[in-house]
Amino acid sequence: MKITARDIDQFDSLIHGDETTFEQLTTFDRNGLAPVSIDNIFALINTLGEVVVPFEYQSIVMSTINAYSVSKNDKWGFITKSNQVLIPIEYDLTSDFIENFCAVKKDGKWGFIDLLNSISIPFEYEGCTDFKSGIAGVVKNGKWGVINKENELIIDYQYEYLTPVDANFLTFGVATNFKVDRPDILAFFPYFLNPENYLMHFGLISINNEILLDAISELPVLESHDGKPVIRQNYQIGYLENKDFIPFTQFSIDPYEEKILKQIGVMK
């Protein structure tokens, strides 16, 4: 089957002309394939518009293992570039294969599988992060802790959010006392809320569960600048220098976004 650019949903006659190519409508990956949709059902095509993976999926996402995470009948799995099933399409949700482990959700619980679809870590968690440097954040009874790849508990369940930065540091989250009245609007901006819609702030702990930085950042602390933690305060990205916040001057906020965030109350 071969299609033209005008056959697919992404085509916009106000922007694309008669000579529109697929390169202008979608992004081709290292396999030379790209997702397109008709009536919100997805396929993969090559640069000639030839359908390589048929129109039968609700979603198609390129993965780190040169395969594709796909959803069908509200279930997720993985296929190869030739549409062979790699991981059965049977999960409520899937992440990606990071450090050879893929976080997947089944029957309301999260666990981890390997490339053979064997269960590496049982389905016993309410939520989780991907593995990083051999550790992952996991949730039980509404609290976050950290496990290793043997499913051994490294940090007990005590945090409102916890995700590894590397083998030595993790970023943790704490809910503030500010409840957001318009979480629907705030969803368009990079802020974090807890399940009750209270604003979250983030800090750093060591792998030994020692607090290295209090929860003062509006974003998880995942980067550093010359060895100093990169944080965000009042919607401004910067870093800490002797406990002083030094903003990066190359970043500036859009006046319209500033107005909205001040009305919501998350920005001073």
What is the structure's pLDDT at 137? 97
State pTM to two decimals. 0.87
CB 198 within 8 A of CB 191: no
CB 39 within 8 A of CB 58: no
* C-alpha 216 chain-centroid distance: 22
What is the structure's pLDDT at 88? 98
Taking only the tens of pLDDT, the chain with its 268 residues reads 899 898 999 888 787 888 888 888 899 999 999 999 999 999 999 999 999 999 999 999 999 999 999 999 999 999 999 999 999 999 999 999 999 999 999 999 999 999 999 999 999 999 999 999 999 999 999 999 999 999 999 999 999 999 999 999 999 999 999 999 999 999 999 999 999 999 999 999 999 999 999 999 999 999 888 888 999 999 999 999 888 899 998 888 899 999 999 999 999 8
Per-residue HEC secondary structure of the chain comes to CECCHHHCCCCCCCCCCCCCCHHHCCCCCCCCCEEEEECCEEEEECCCCEEEEEEEECEEEECCCCCEEEEECCEEEEECCCCCEEEEEEECEEEEEECCEEEEEECCEEEEECCCCCEEEEEEECEECCCECCEEEEEECCEEEEEECCCCEEEEEEECEEEECCCCEEEEEEEEEEECCCHHHHCCCCCCECCCCEEEEEEEEECCCCEEEEEEECCCCCCEECCEEEEEECCEEEEEECCEEEECCCCCCCHHHHHHHHHHCCCC
Domains of the chain are 1-91 (2.20.25)
CA distance 183 to 185: 5
What is the structure's pLDDT at 251? 82
What is the structure's pLDDT at 107? 96
Tokens of 102: 């893929």
What is the structure's pLDDT at 11? 82
Edge-first strand listing for the sheet containing 211-217: 161-164, 169-179, 198-206, 211-217
Pairing state between β 153-159 and 101-106: unpaired
